[in-house]
């Protein structure tokens, strides 16, 4: 009932870092994010949705660390226009708002890649920054985690990336919010609804082989889920430094 009450009042939201032509909204109590999903994403998620919900259920019941953002439902909304009576349909996914009731001063969307991962516009609150922005900041303001926290984060990322690779998903991000007042990081893995399809596999093979010209074995923009998992794990381990727990108490 609380879920329905929250969704009964929503407002359009210009999500920083999201695709400009994709509809986003927030419930007015800010508990939930509503995002438009394209047909390819929807069909992809339907393929592995049973495994996703099984994985989350087992993780929560066993206490195994996970940082996958929670999908709470997928709905099709029909809107009938007053003029002309034309009907428009939109597929929407409802997800938890990772930053609900949090005072977030900086937000990073991290993929573990340097290619096109810098946002030159860093002005404004809640501007979404990228991997290269984080690396730039870490030179003077490193992010330290206690050893227990770092191990827990790594276990969650290892668990989640193993699952995502097993269902052929890639191109996901670690969304990180910096809560400077609480001296905490709030994070979760998002954008995991698209699987690695044959067209992406073909692009990877063509670029790596040099069959259409260009240097052979050049780094492709699309890599396999297994490769993406390895790169993502390595980067997230590097981004956050470890200090002894007694230093963080």
Q: Please, what are the averages of pLDDT over each run of 10 residues along the chain (249 residues)? A: 87 70 90 93 94 97 96 91 85 95 92 88 79 94 91 97 96 94 93 76 50 47 87 96 69
Integer Cα distance of 21 and 244 in angstroms: 45
User: 183 has which bridge partners?
Assistant: none
Three-state DSSP class for 208?
A: helix
- Supply the pLDDT for residue 196: 82
Stated as kind and residue range, the H or E segment containing 200 is helix 198-209
Asked if 126 and 105 count as a contact pair (C-beta separation under 8 A), the reply is: no
Tell me the pTM: 0.85
The residue extents of the domains of the chain are 2-248
Asked if 76 and 91 count as a contact pair (C-beta separation under 8 A), the reply is: yes
- Supply the pLDDT for residue 17: 57
Q: Which CATH number fits domain 2-248: 1.10.940.10, 3.30.810.10, 3.40.250.10, 3.60.21.10?
A: 3.30.810.10
């Amino acid at each position: 009932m609380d879920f329905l009450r929250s969704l009964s009042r929503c407002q359009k939201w210009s999500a920083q870092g999201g695709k400009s032509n994709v509809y986003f909204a927030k419930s007015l109590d800010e508990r939930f994010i509503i995002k438009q999903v394209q047909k390819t994403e929807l069909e992809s998620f339907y393929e592995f949705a049973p495994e996703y919900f099984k994985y989350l259920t087992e993780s929560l019941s066993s206490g195994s660390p996970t940082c996958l953002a929670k999908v709470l439902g997928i709905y099709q909304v029909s809107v009938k226009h007053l003029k002309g009576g034309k009907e428009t349909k939109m597929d929407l996914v409802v997800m938890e708002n990772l930053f609900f009731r949090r005072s977030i001063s900086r937000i990073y969307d991290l993929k573990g890649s340097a290619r096109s991962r810098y946002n030159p516009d860093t002005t404004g609150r809640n501007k979404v920054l990228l991997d290269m922005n984080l690396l730039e900041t870490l030179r003077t303001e490193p992010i330290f985690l206690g050893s227990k926290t770092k191990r827990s984060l790594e276990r969650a990322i290892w668990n989640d990336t193993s699952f995502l690779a097993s269902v052929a998903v890639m191109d996901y991000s670690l969304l990180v919010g910096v809560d400077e007042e609480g001296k905490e990081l709030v994070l979760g893995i998002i954008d995991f609804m698209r699987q690695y399809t044959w067209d992406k596999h073909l692009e990877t093979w063509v670029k790596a082989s040099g069959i259409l010209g260009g240097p052979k074995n050049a780094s492709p923009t699309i890599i396999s889920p297994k490769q993406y998992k390895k790169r993502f794990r390595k980067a997230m381990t590097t981004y956050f430094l470890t200090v002894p727990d007694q230093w963080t108490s």
